[in-house]
């Protein structure tokens, strides 16, 4: 298996045409700023049509379903629909089969998220010391996604995530250290004169409560923001190059003119939940959300 696999070849992008609307049925959501109503797990969303399409797809934000616009199954929907259950529709099968599909879907979604991170890690040259372990973890995770419904339902996905996370943490350390080292060399003597500013680079903000934080222009290059709460934070013009963004909550965060070049473990759903502008700099693997402003 090659070290870095094109994302599309791993089927890590949702293809709703090959799914049976599983995210609109299997997952629960509560009435909030993200969803206009309560829906328990296993119950179809009232907006789901008989052809498994969303009846308000073009008006989701206007009708109070912003949460749907920032969700991506990362290809788990078509994997469960077409591979695990061989193209069998939950609507036409037995109630037991439908329940099994709904139980398996969140498990495969978690495994596909790990595949996304592992594949990205293999694309980081600085992480070469752990590439063999990353390749093995990728192969094992892909194998798990191909399990039977019974095997997937019985899988201890939390334990598997923990094992993979050890490798992702090591990847993060290597990638951020390399980025900061390269930056220091370029800065030369200026780096010593700006020790105060440099001190914030690479800072550990893992799991930090930064809700509504004023971080305009902040130098967060090479920082770890793993699991940080950046909801509605002002990151206008912030330097987030080579930052570890895994699990960071960017809902309504303002990324106007921010630089996320090289930021890793940043997924499209995270980006979709934020606000930004034409001046926000992104890595080529990410797409500028359509709802972002065009000014800047």
Question: Does the residue 37 lie in any domain?
Answer: no
Distance in angstroms (rounded) separating the CA atoms of residues 69 and 51: 19
Question: Does the residue 24 lie in any domain?
Answer: no
Full residue range of the structural domain in which residue 218 is found: 191-296
In Å, how far from its chain's centre is CA 294? Answer: 24
Question: Does the residue 149 lie in any domain?
Answer: yes
pLDDT in tens, 45-77: 999 999 999 999 989 989 999 899 889 999 999
Task: Please give the full DSSP string across 19-55, using - where no structure is assigned.
Answer: S-SGGGTTS-B-SSSS-SS-B-TTS--TTB-TTS-BT
Place of tokens 């699991």: 227
Share of the chain above pLDDT 70, in %: 88
Number of domains in the chain: 2
Contacts of 88 (CB under 8 A, 6+ apart): 97
Question: Does the residue 143 lie in any domain?
Answer: yes
- Does residue 259 share a domain with residue 165? no
- Does residue 208 share a domain with residue 159? no
Which of 4-13, 111-120, 153-162 is predicted least confidently?
4-13
Domain stop point among 140, 170, 200:
170
pLDDT in tens, 234-259: 999 999 999 999 999 999 999 999 99
Q: Work out the angle at residue 55's Cα, subtended by the Cα atoms of residues 54 and 61, and round it to the nearest 5 degrees.
A: 80
């Amino acid at each position: 298996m090659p070290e870095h696999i094109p994302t599309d070849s791993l089927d890590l992008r949702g293809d709703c045409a090959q799914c049976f609307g599983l995210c609109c049925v299997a997952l629960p959501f509560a009435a909030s700023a993200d969803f206009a109503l309560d829906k328990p797990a296993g119950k179809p969303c009232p907006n789901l049509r008989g052809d498994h399409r969303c009846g308000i797809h073009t008006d989701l934000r206007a009708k109070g379903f912003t949460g749907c616009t920032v969700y991506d199954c990362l290809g788990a929907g078509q994997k469960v629909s077409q591979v695990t259950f061989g193209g069998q529709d939950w609507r036409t099968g037995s109630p037991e089969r439908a329940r099994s599909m709904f139980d398996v879907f969140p498990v495969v979604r978690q495994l596909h998220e790990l595949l996304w991170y592992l594949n990205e890690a293999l694309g980081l040259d600085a992480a070469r010391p752990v590439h063999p372990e990353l390749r093995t973890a990728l192969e094992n995770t892909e194998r798990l996604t191909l399990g039977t419904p019974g095997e997937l339902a019985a899988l201890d996905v939390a334990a598997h995530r923990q094992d993979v996370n050890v490798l992702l943490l090591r990847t993060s350390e290597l990638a951020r250290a390399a980025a900061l080292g390269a930056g220091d060399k370029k800065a030369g003597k200026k780096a010593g004169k700006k020790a105060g500013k440099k001190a914030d680079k690479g800072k550990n903000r893992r799991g930090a409560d930064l809700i509504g934080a004023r971080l305009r222009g902040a130098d967060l290059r090479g920082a770890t923001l793993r699991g940080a709460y950046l909801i509605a934070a002002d990151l206008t013009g912030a330097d987030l190059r080579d930052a570890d963004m895994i699990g960071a909550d960017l809902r309504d965060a303002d990324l106007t003119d921010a630089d996320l070049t090289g930021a890793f473990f940043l997924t499209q759903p995270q980006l979709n939940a934020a606000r930004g502008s034409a001046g926000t700099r992104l890595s080529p693997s990410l797409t500028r959300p359509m709802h972002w402003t065009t000014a800047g």
